């Protein structure tokens, strides 16, 4: 039998092996059940308690916007017009969204040219980055920030330029290193991505910081993608600043991403929205056409209930999350050597642990096996976060607090001996 | 003000402009309303009749599987377990699908490692090709075939190697040029993609052809992606051959794609399924994680009704489509110089017109404006098809036949003068 070289012998195929090896998802939120756990050092007995999956919000604890399924059902009954929308989403829906989001973000939106409905905000991020990153482009990404940002830069063959955010150093601003951002722009970076509120820390950027980001990007002709997924869930009446509403940067170079998956618990419909200049929205739609055509037609209808929730519904939801945050932060602070910056917006908290005698990925596996608590290792958000983990505290209030108490017990099991710390840390 | 170079002055950014310029979607099915039409030469008055959009099936004429929305509603009521599935789809659902598809395709499927649920078959194609194509790889694609296949190869920076299919030459086989396919493999091509039934012609590959494809791919160590989206709608009791069920090629190198969007009219849920070896399914899931996380959780539930339709439902649907095909083909054949191969499977028909005095894209625009009939230009399926268009005849029967009659009237308006043909065609 004549045999050509097998695919694995190809140079290009090895590149592909490497590329996908870097795209690890074993520790990604929701994927924990696929982990290998046979090599984890388990200390002590299993702790009783209600299992809590902090890797994502619990839509059973905080249910979807009332009426959201009814509009989807009406869309299904309507039939073809809702099933087969333009790739960028149904026009009447985009008109509705454009008006709502223009009001929310403080700047006008042309429904037909500046907005695209996407399969979740993950879809929006993919399309936005795919529309802006060419092979070899250097792209500035905050550390810590949403793990997919880094993976997407790598997938599109860009080069990561990390911009550190010292979120534990201050409480009046995010702690983003503006000098590093300007250095990056000065050295040729033409794309910057950040989430506000920050994922995983829950930090909200100050108005002055957002102004500086916009002003720097404008000065160097850079494009900014801002992920504002959690911008409706801001605590303590803190002010929130939309970059696109500030007027400090040419709208031709700003993409704003939002969606109803988090605060509004519509994640099961997979819906996101991106707002940007016509030239980039057009690229995003072209990419959508080969990626998945459109956000599921029937699902799109659920967006009608977004920003149209019953009176008081959103305020109550925000207050409930703020209360959970307060209780969890109090429990963590009482330990003494777990460092936490209280969440300012969104449902994430990113505690930093004392030195442990096992790595953070293994700690997360042990925590799941010993305490039925799933959290996401800090290293998913930047290589430096080897002692942090992220929780999404959009959970049943009492179960979440109890799960954090169990987490602290497991931390105590794995504390590194003090001497070893002095010598090696 | 200090200004760095703008993005448009970057070499890499021009590459991106070029890349997206190639990714045209103006003539893509469903996108017609975004077209510029001010430069089209319109001859004659507007023809009355029910508008028909042949660019995709009409889910109002052929409605979704009975009960499909009820299971989605049950999934919504169930809550988090259905909203947040593994990226590859909910396990209990994959188990159900693996059993059904193993039976249908004639070879076993391991639910946990060999199957992934995707956002539509478009999503499955994107993930499959992204998992197999490295920059510079040469990829064999049938001409004509589904337009996104070619766009995807280009998007992943592969090089297209077209394999011609002379679908008008024979009726006992597809007419795929096996010599060209072997030449491609011999010259180093390690990936071949084809749809069966073929999109846009509706041709079903003979058993002997599928065997040859598998045997050649096996001999040269190539991977085959086969899109079997329409494999449940086969006419005239014609036999259908699943490559994966034949046993002529190592399953490590076959990806089979299916979905309930067409015959079953579940397209509004955006659901597809890919079956392949664990190593490629794992890559596809990694890619899914950064593209859109998962097929919409609630939508996934609809898959439970797939391959579980009420008794006789599918047979009746196939018979109804076969009847529409017969009537449309009779009307086209009566013209005399429109060449058509009757659809063997699926809902597509790909007529070849006599010479016209305008290009096929402009003809399609004129047809829409003058007769309220939307069709897809042949050039979307391969550069050679400058006198063909595709219709999806999954439409109201009478309206579809009437629309084809109007189409013929518009063809007559644009026939090229015979002399001009002799001189220039």
Q: 3-state class of B5 per DSSP?
A: coil
Substitution target in A292, A297, A302, A376 with the highest count of B β-carbons within 10 Å is A292
Domain presence at residue B106: yes
User: Residue A11 domain-assigned?
Assistant: no
**Which residue segment(s) compose the domain that A373 sits in?**
22-62+312-424
Residue A114: which region, alpha, beta or left (left: phi > 0; alpha: psi -120 to 50)?
A: alpha
Instruction: Compute the nearest-CA separation of A148 from chain B (Å).
Output: 6
Which band of pLDDT confidence, cut at 50, 70 and 90, is reported for residue B15?
A: confident
Please state the rounded mean pLDDT for residues B310-328.
Answer: 98
Cα radius of gyration rounded to whole Å, chain B: 22
One domain, residues A205 and A74: yes
Contact A26, A377 (CB under 8 A): no
Quote the CA–CA distance of A108 and B174 in Å, as a whole number: 53
Same domain, A237 and A129: yes
Does any domain span residue B383? yes
Q: Would you call B291 and A69 a contact, using CB atoms and an 8 Å cutoff? A: no
Main-chain phi, psi angles of B232, to 5 degrees: -95, -5
From A83, A152, A285, residue closest to B268, measured CB to CB: A83
Supply the pLDDT for residue B424: 43
Look at residue B19 in the predicted model and tell me its pLDDT.
79
Q: What CATH number does the domain containing B40 carry?
A: 3.90.1150.10
Flag whether pLDDT at B5 surpasses 70.
no
In angstroms, what CA-CA distances link A144 with A41, A168, A176, A212, B62?
Answer: 28, 12, 10, 19, 50
Contact between chains at B134 and A2 (C-beta distance less than 8 A): no
Domain count, chain B: 2
Residues contacting B351, CB < 8 A, separation 6+: B332, B338, B339, B340, B388, B389, B391
- Considering B305, B321, B338, which residue would you say is the last residue of a domain? B305
Tokens of A278: 């016509």
Question: CA-to-CA distance for B322 and B343, rounded, in angstroms?
Answer: 8
User: How far away is chain B from the Cα of A136, in angstroms, using its nearest Cα?
Assistant: 8
Residues from chain A that touch B158, judged by Cβ atoms under 8 A, are none
Nearest CA to B275 among B260, B293, B253, B292? B253
Distance, CA of B185 to CA of B187 (rounded, Å)? 5
A223-227: strand order across its sheet: A115-118, A272-275, A254-258, A223-227, A191-195, A138-143, A159-164
Q: How far is CA B264 from the centre of its chain?
A: 15
The pLDDT assigned to B10 comes to 44
CATH number, domain with residue A108:
3.40.640.10
The angle subtended at Cα B52 by Cα B48 and Cα B54, nearest 5°, is: 140
Q: Which of A62-66, B32-36, B273-277 has the lowest mean pLDDT?
A: B32-36
Q: Answer yes or no: do A58 and A73 share one domain.
A: no
Q: What's the whole-number mean pLDDT along residues B315-329?
A: 98
Q: Residue A110 corresponds to which tokens in the numbers above?
A: 């042309």
Among the candidates B305, B340, B364, a domain finishes at: B305
pTM attached to this predicted model: 0.93
A-B CB pairs within 8 A amount to 250
Strand partners, A59: none
Of A31, A82, A133, the CB nearest to B86: A31
Is the pLDDT at B40 greater than 90? The verdict is: no
Count of beta carbons in the 10 Å neighbourhood of residue A218: 17
A160 and A291 housed in the same domain: yes
Alpha helices in A222-336 (DSSP H): 278-291, 297-300, 313-335
- A246 and A128, same domain (yes or no): yes
CB contact under 8 A, B20 and A283: yes
Q: What is the mean pLDDT of residues A383-399?
A: 98
Q: Taking CB atoms and an 8 Å cutoff, what residues of chain A touch B58?
A: 80
The label of the residue with tokens 């033409």 reads A190
A392 φ, ψ (degrees, to nearest 5): -105, 110
CB contact under 8 A, B30 and A296: no
Instruction: State whether A341 and A379 are in the same domain.
Output: yes
pLDDT in tens, A200-214: 999 999 999 999 999
pLDDT digits (tens, 9 = 90+) for B360-418: 999 999 999 999 999 999 999 999 999 999 999 999 999 999 999 999 999 999 999 87
What is the tens place of the pLDDT at every residue in A260-305? 999 999 999 999 999 999 999 999 999 999 999 999 999 999 999 9
pLDDT at B264 over 90: yes
The mean pLDDT value for B147-151 works out to 95
- Each residue of A400-412: pLDDT tens digit? 999 999 999 999 9
Record: contact B30-A120, CB cut-off 8 A: no
Q: pLDDT tens across B53-90, in order?
A: 999 999 999 999 999 999 999 999 999 999 999 999 99
User: Which residues touch B228 (CB under 8 Å, ≥6 apart)?
Assistant: B105, B195, B196, B242, B256, B257, B258
- Same-domain pairing of A261 and A375: no
Q: What is the pLDDT of residue A12?
A: 60
Provide the pLDDT for residue B419. 61
CA distance B178 to B158: 22
Strands A389-392 and A376-377: antiparallel
**Confidence label for A15 from pLDDT (cuts 50, 70 and 90):** confident
Query: Do B105 and B185 sit in the same domain of this protein?
Result: yes
Task: Answer with the one of B305, B326, B359 that is the final residue of a domain.
Answer: B305
Q: Find the residue in B nearest to A290 (Cα).
A: B148
Compute the mean pLDDT over every residue in chain B, rounded to the nearest whole number.
93
* Nearest-CB residue to B190 (from A10, A76, A134): A10
Is the pLDDT confidence value at B425 over 50?
Answer: no
Reply yes or no on whether the pLDDT at B30 is more than 90: no
Residues, chain A = 425
Please determine, for residue A425, whether its predicted confidence score (pLDDT) is greater than 60: no
* Cα of A371 to nearest chain B Cα, Å: 20
The helix/strand/coil state of B258 is strand
In a domain, A12, yes or no: no
A194 bridge partner residues:
A226
pLDDT in tens, B207-232: 999 999 999 999 999 999 999 999 99
Q: Which two tokens stand for residue A118?
A: 């996407």
pLDDT for B28 equals 78
pLDDT of A5 strictly over 60: no
Minimal C-alpha gap between B347 and chain A (Å): 17
Cα distances from B211 to residues B60, B196, B424, in angstroms, run: 38, 13, 42
Interchain CB distance below 8 Å, A7 and B56:
no
Q: What are the pLDDT digits (tens) for A114-172?
A: 999 999 999 999 999 999 999 999 999 999 999 999 999 999 999 999 999 999 998 89
Shared-domain flag, residues B394 and B245: no
Tokens at residue A106, please? 């403080």
Residue A387 lies in a domain: yes
Are A295 and B270 a contacting pair at CB < 8 A?
yes
Q: Tell me, what's the pLDDT at B421?
A: 47
Contact partners, residue A333, CB within 8 Å, separation at least 6? A340
* Coil, strand or helix at A72: helix
B318 and B301 part of one domain:
no
> Is B320 a domain residue?
yes
| C-alpha distance from B217 to closest chain A C-alpha (Å) | 10
Q: Give dist(CA B120, CA A294) in Å, integer.
A: 9
pLDDT beyond 50 at A113: yes
Half-sphere exposure of A320 (CA within 13 A, CB side): 18
Distance CA B168, CA B181 (A): 19
What are A210's two structure tokens?
């957002």
> What integer pLDDT is reported at residue A23 of this predicted model?
80
Contact state of B87 with A30 under an 8 Å Cβ cutoff: yes
**Average pLDDT of the residues in B136-161:** 96
Residues A326 and A218 placed together within one structural domain of the fold: no
Q: Which residues contact B271 (CB under 8 A, 6 or more apart)?
A: B117, B118, B119, B120, B259, B260, B261, B295, B299, B300, B302, B303
Give the per-residue pLDDT at B207: 97
pLDDT at site B6: 41
Report yes or no: A299 and B296 within 8 Å, Cβ to Cβ.
Answer: yes
Q: Is residue A7 part of a domain?
A: no
Name the residue with tokens 């449940």. B232
Checking if the pLDDT of B281 tops 80, the result is: yes
Structural domain contains residue A352? yes
Would you call A221 and B2 a contact, using CB atoms and an 8 Å cutoff? no
Do A122 and B291 make contact, defined as CB atoms within 8 angstroms?
Answer: yes
A268/B219 touch (CB, cutoff 8 Å), yes or no: no
The structure tokens listed for B274 are 């890919």
Is the same domain home to A53 and A84? no
Q: pLDDT value at position B13?
A: 61
């Amino acid at each position: 039998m004549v045999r050509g070289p097998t695919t694995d012998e190809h140079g290009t195929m090895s590149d592909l092996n490497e590329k996908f090896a870097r795209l690890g998802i074993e520790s990604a939120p929701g994927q924990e059940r696929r982990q290998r756990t046979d090599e984890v050092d388990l200390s002590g007995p299993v702790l009783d308690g209600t299992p809590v999956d902090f890797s994502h919000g619990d839509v059973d604890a905080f249910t979807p916007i009332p009426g959201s399924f009814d509009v989807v059902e009406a869309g299904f009954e309507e039939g073809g017009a809702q099933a087969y929308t333009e790739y960028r989403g149904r026009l009447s829906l985009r008109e509705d969204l454009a008006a709502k989001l223009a009001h929310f973000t403080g700047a006008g939106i042309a429904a037909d040219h500046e907005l695209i409905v996407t399969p979740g905000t993950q879809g929006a991020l993919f399309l936005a980055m795919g529309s802006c990153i060419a092979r070899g482009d250097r792209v500035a990404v905050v550390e810590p920030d949403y793990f997919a940002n880094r993976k997407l830069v790598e997938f599109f063959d860009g080069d990561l330029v990390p911009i550190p955010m010292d979120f534990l150093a201050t409480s009046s601003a995010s702690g983003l290193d503006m000098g590093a951002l300007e250095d990056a722009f000065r050295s040729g970076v033409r794309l910057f991505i950040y989430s506000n509120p920050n994922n995983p820390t829950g930090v909200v950027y100050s108005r002055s910081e957002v102004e500086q980001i916009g002003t720097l990007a404008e000065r160097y002709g850079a494009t900014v993608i801002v992920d504002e997924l959690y911008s409706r869930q801001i605590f303590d009446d803190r002010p929130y600043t939309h970059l696109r509403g500030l007027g400090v940067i040419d709208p031709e170079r700003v993409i704003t991403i939002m969606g109803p998956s988090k605060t509004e618990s519509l994640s099961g419909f997979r819906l996101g929205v991106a707002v940007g200049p016509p030239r980039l929205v057009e690229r995003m739609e072209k990419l959508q056409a080969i990626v998945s055509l459109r956000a599921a037609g029937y699902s799109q209808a659920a967006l009608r209930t977004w920003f149209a929730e019953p009176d008081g519904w959103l305020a109550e939801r925000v207050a409930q999350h703020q209360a959970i945050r307060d209780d969890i932060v109090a429990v963590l602070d009482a330990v003494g050597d777990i460092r936490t910056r209280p969440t300012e917006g969104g449902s994430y908290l990113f505690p930093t642990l004392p030195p442990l005698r096992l790595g953070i990925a293994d700690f997360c596996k042990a925590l799941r096996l010993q305490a039925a608590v799933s959290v996401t290792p800090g290293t998913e958000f930047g290589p430096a976060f080897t002692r942090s983990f992220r929780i999404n505290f959009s959970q049943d209030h009492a179960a979440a607090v109890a799960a954090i108490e169990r987490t602290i017990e497991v931390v105590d099991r794995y504390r590194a001996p003090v001497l070893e710390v002095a010598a090696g840390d």
